[in-house]
Amino acid sequence: MKTYQKSKLNRVKRGQNRATYDVEKINAILDAGFLCYVGYIYDGKPITIPMAYARKDDKIYIHGSTANRMLLAILESGETSITVMHLDGLVLARSGFHHSVNYRSVTLFGSLKKIENDTDKTTILERIVNQMVPNQWSSLRPMHQKELDRTLVVEFTIETASAKVRDVGVNDEPEDYNCDVWAGIVPIKQVAEYPIADEGKPKNMEIPKHILDYYKANK
């Protein structure tokens, strides 16, 4: 089992029993989503921005406009922290103090570099699109050169990481279990609704199979 070495930077201090540094488990959490939160400092102020991402091995890829101040700021600093989180349930206890949520979260720390080569940029953008909906890229028109020129792609190398997972029930005070208060879990999941065609030609086209497959798998 490959794990990230614990350090002051990535060690989980509160709820250590829910922490894992297992690379495979961390990658599974990353691969289950496509939105991450990127932290950076701009003009002396801390800011966090949601971004679409894709993973390959120990690399996370994000992209935006060549004028994107967050991407430019993290490239200048040479490092950042990225967080991914999935909400799995509301934990409703017998007291307000013990209310909680079930979740899977990962925090990544690492270094950055700008992807310069157009072929590499295109391959990465394909991976990001397909992380959202598998096989979507092959159904699209090719990117124009001007679009590539206006797109900044950043590679983030995971140098260390940790995950924290809560997947258990209510944890009330022993004396509260005799209270006449309902307690339990409300499971939460992200679902896909039936695809809605855009105006124009899509209104008269069949919905592509890969999109219907995604809908059926996530409804």
* CATH class assigned to 16-188: mainly beta
For 106-129, what is the mean pLDDT? 96
Q: pTM here?
A: 0.91
Contact 108, 79 (CB under 8 A): no
In 10 A of CB 171, how many CB atoms? 10
pLDDT in tens, 132-181: 999 999 999 999 999 999 999 999 999 999 999 999 999 999 999 999 99
The per-residue pLDDT for 43 is 87
Instruction: List the domain boundaries for the chain.
Output: 16-188, 191-219
C-alpha torsion angle, residues 23, 25, 27, 31 (rounded to 10):
180
Mean pLDDT, the chain, rounded, equals 95
pLDDT in tens, 44-68: 899 999 999 999 999 999 999 999 9
The per-residue pLDDT for 47 is 94
DSSP 85: E
Q: Distance (Å, rounded) from C-alpha 63 to C-alpha 53?
A: 8
